[in-house]
A and B are shown apart, each in its own frame.
Chain A
Amino acid sequence: MLCALAAIPVLIAVAVRLSSAVPPGRGPAFLDRITQNGLFVGVTAMLVSVPLFLPLTVGVVAGDTVAGEAGLGTLRYLLVAPAGRVRLLLVKYAGAVAFAVAAPLVVALVGAAIGAALFPVGPVTLLSGDSIGADEAMLRLLLIAAYLAVSLMGLSAIGLFMSTLTDVPVGAMASTVVLAVVSQVLDALPQLEWLHPWLFSHYWLDFADLLRQPVAWDSFLTNSLLQGGYVAVFGALAYGRFITKDVLS
């Protein structure tokens, strides 16, 4: 799945390389900057993958955690070992989080690499109009990847909870991904404005704040708090469900 994610920046870079110049203001943001600076491939790829690809893959991994074992019939063997259900849950969540960290990182690094290979790399223009050197730009790129990793923590916790509800891994994956989409749809409805700050996808696209000069840390902080809340709530729900569950398979 990481390979599938890595294909996104490659696809973008090759498409931009082969096509003529992109007029500014069309298509996804930053797309027109790619020809000037290859590092923007990473940014654009992350921007493109935030609404669907990242939640999709994270949902698949997180939904598979417990339900996958149950579906294969290996869950009861795991629980026979004297490790305890809490520990199993924690390890499973850690695995999902590791993927949530790795996924945006792969997109960013592959994007930067393919961008450097196909386009010139130089000082990067930030949203504020200031320019920073390529090394600092790399740092910002990693920061964005970190931001997205934090953004996906809440979804991972939701996926973990879904995964404890069912023995069918596909069901848990699908419901997690559907929830991510539903959350984004709700976020797009202006009539539900009061709900927006509580949606786990609300700050996903605010990683652009890391591309301002000086960096606006507010959204990073708010996002971390929100995701922490989701992790706490759905972690507790998953705990309650998994501890009380009758494991038959």
Chain B
Amino acid sequence: MMRKWLRWMPAVAVPAVIAAGVLSGSLPASAGDPLPEKTPQQVLLMMAQHGEKSLSGTLEQSSEIGLPELPKTGPAAASAETAWLELLTGPHTARVYLDGPGKARVQVMDRMAERNAVRNGDELWFYNSKDNTAAHAQLPADAATRHDNRPGTVPTPEDVADKFLAKLDASTEVTVGPDVQVAGRAAYNLVLTPASEVTLVESVAIAVDGASGLPLGVEVKARGQAEPAFSVAFTALTLETPDSGIFNFTPPPGATVEEIPLPAHHEKAAVAPSDAAAAKAAKRPTVTGTGWESVLEFPAGAVALPGQTPPQTEVPDPAAANPLRPDPSVAGGTSSGAAALLEQAAVAVPGGRLVSTSLVNVLILDDGRILAGSVPLERLQAAATQR
């Protein structure tokens, strides 16, 4: 007869084995050969020259910038306005497929839902499974090739790397940190540290694949915050051409399809979802300060904040341009998720309201001007009083 305690051995041994397995699995696999030493310039050059045009991988993105999390359920969750804002809060996983310059597919994997952006040549599709809607845009036929065929003046990657470094050097210290492991690949860690003491950004680290030069991840750290304020990195990556069927997209039957008209000479705005950036560029913000301490100032009414009806130009009433003025229509229950978020995130400060995140501060003045910068509030206020 075995003694009693012996019979409990498996119950002790199994958790121990599992714990050992987990521990050994979570240790960094640093056994591989260290990458050859390189200067920041060489790493930059490698990144600029990387020839990887085809890949499929899984991206993991997370943000800890101090914004309140948006509701993931309920009627406000699916609104299109909050979709991009939602990317700034909480973690996300996305699968990325690239094949050359003309074919790309990004799948943002939500729980029980998925958002897709597919580009196949000059066809551009967006699809959201949550509300079964699709949007289609036709890119100009030469959009894919235009960048490659620019005449003569294309600077070589070496030039770009040199110029980039020279430009950065005054305001930023560029170093190559210890190698990192990203998606199971050894990568150089290019660290940009702002020389300025004022800015909220502590450092920006770019992981560059040691074998191919492909950027594998970006991590932005904010001052006084342990976890990265923003990070995006591959968790899995294969540098093979994905199955071409992935890039064929036809909207499913029953989906609501919306056609997005594109301005003929503005294909760039459609390639990246930077409509907001393009709109801002059109309104010409003024910049004060240099480098990391730059403060952008948008004149009153230049930026139509979500949930705000565009101010009518013939009514020069500053109060009408103030996005945070309690607008009757907003108060009437039609407030969108973005406006609600803004209401929730903004705090009153002398002269206006402040939306503070760990990376960027946005000061919305009572006269409708908006100042934004990666600097503390005092800098924004100083910039506001300068003019």
Where the two chains meet, the residues of A that have a C-beta atom closer than 8 Å to any C-beta of B are 24-26, 29-30, 32-33, 36, 47, 122-123, 125, 127-131, 190, 205-206, 208-209, 212-214, 216, 218, 229, 232-233, 235-237, 239-241, 243-244
Minimum CB–CB distance for A26 against chain B, Å:
8
- Residues from chain B with a CB closer than 8 A to the CB of A213 are 246
The complex places the Cα of A236 from the Cα of B10 at a distance, in Å, of 5
B116 in contact with A128 (CB, 8 Å):
yes
Q: Kindly state whether residue B131 has any CB partner on chain A within 8 Å.
A: yes
Q: Kindly state whether residue B127 has any CB partner on chain A within 8 Å.
A: yes
Given A32-B132, A129-B129 in contact, is the A232-B18 Cβ separation under 8 Å? Answer: yes
Minimum CB–CB distance for A92 against chain B, Å:
17
- Residues from chain B with a CB closer than 8 A to the CB of A128 are 107, 114, 116, 127, 129
Q: List 18 A-B contacts (CB under 8 A).
A: A29-B112, A29-B113, A32-B132, A36-B253, A122-B253, A125-B255, A127-B113, A128-B129, A129-B255, A131-B252, A205-B112, A212-B107, A212-B114, A233-B11, A236-B14, A239-B7, A240-B10, A240-B11
**Chain A to chain B: the 3 pairs with minimum beta-carbon distance, closest first:** A125-B252, A129-B127, A236-B10
Q: Kindly state whether residue B170 has any CB partner on chain A within 8 Å.
A: no
A125 in contact with B8 (CB, 8 Å):
no
A233 in contact with B14 (CB, 8 Å):
yes
Task: Give the contact-size bracket for chain B.
Answer: 35 or more
- Residues from chain A with a CB closer than 8 A to the CB of B4 are 244
Q: From B5, which residue of chain A is reached at the shortest CB distance?
A: A244
Q: Kindly state whether residue B146 has any CB partner on chain A within 8 Å.
A: no
Q: From B256, which residue of chain A is reached at the shortest CB distance?
A: A24
The complex places the Cα of A71 from the Cα of B240 at a distance, in Å, of 60
Minimum CB–CB distance for B244 against chain A, Å:
13
B111 in contact with A239 (CB, 8 Å):
no
- Residues from chain B with a CB closer than 8 A to the CB of A129 are 114, 116, 118, 125, 127, 129, 134, 249, 251-252, 255
- Residues from chain B with a CB closer than 8 A to the CB of A218 are 58, 236
Which residues of B247-304 have CB atoms within 8 Å of chain A's CB atoms?
249-255
- Residues from chain B with a CB closer than 8 A to the CB of A240 are 7-11
B contacts with A: majority SS: mixed
Given A36-B253, A36-B254 in contact, is the A216-B109 Cβ separation under 8 Å? Answer: yes
Minimum CB–CB distance for A234 against chain B, Å:
9
Q: From A209, which residue of chain B is reached at the shortest CB distance?
A: B109
- Give the residue among A25, A235, A243 with the most B Cβ atoms within 10 A: A25
A131 in contact with B109 (CB, 8 Å):
no
- Residues from chain B with a CB closer than 8 A to the CB of A239 are 7, 10-11
- Residues from chain B with a CB closer than 8 A to the CB of A125 are 129, 132, 252-255
Given A129-B129, A212-B114 in contact, is the A123-B7 Cβ separation under 8 Å? Answer: no
Q: From B128, which residue of chain A is reached at the shortest CB distance?
A: A129
- Residues from chain B with a CB closer than 8 A to the CB of A244 are 4, 7-8
Among B13, B130, B243, the residue within 8 A (CB) of A236 is: B13
A237 in contact with B11 (CB, 8 Å):
yes
Minimum CB–CB distance for B207 against chain A, Å:
21
Given contact pairs A125-B252, A129-B114, A131-B250, a sample of 16 additional A-B residue pairs in the complex whose CB atoms are under 8 Å apart: A29-B113, A33-B132, A125-B255, A127-B113, A128-B107, A128-B129, A129-B255, A131-B252, A206-B111, A208-B111, A208-B112, A212-B109, A232-B18, A236-B15, A239-B7, A240-B9
- Residues from chain A with a CB closer than 8 A to the CB of B69 are 190
The complex places the Cα of A136 from the Cα of B130 at a distance, in Å, of 22
Q: From B17, which residue of chain A is reached at the shortest CB distance?
A: A232
The complex places the Cα of A245 from the Cα of B43 at a distance, in Å, of 65
- Residues from chain A with a CB closer than 8 A to the CB of B129 are 125, 127-129
Q: Kindly state whether residue B353 has any CB partner on chain A within 8 Å.
A: no
The complex places the Cα of A122 from the Cα of B7 at a distance, in Å, of 56
Minimum CB–CB distance for B61 against chain A, Å:
16
The complex places the Cα of A130 from the Cα of B251 at a distance, in Å, of 7
Which residues of B89-108 have CB atoms within 8 Å of chain A's CB atoms?
95, 107
Q: Kindly state whether residue B78 has any CB partner on chain A within 8 Å.
A: yes
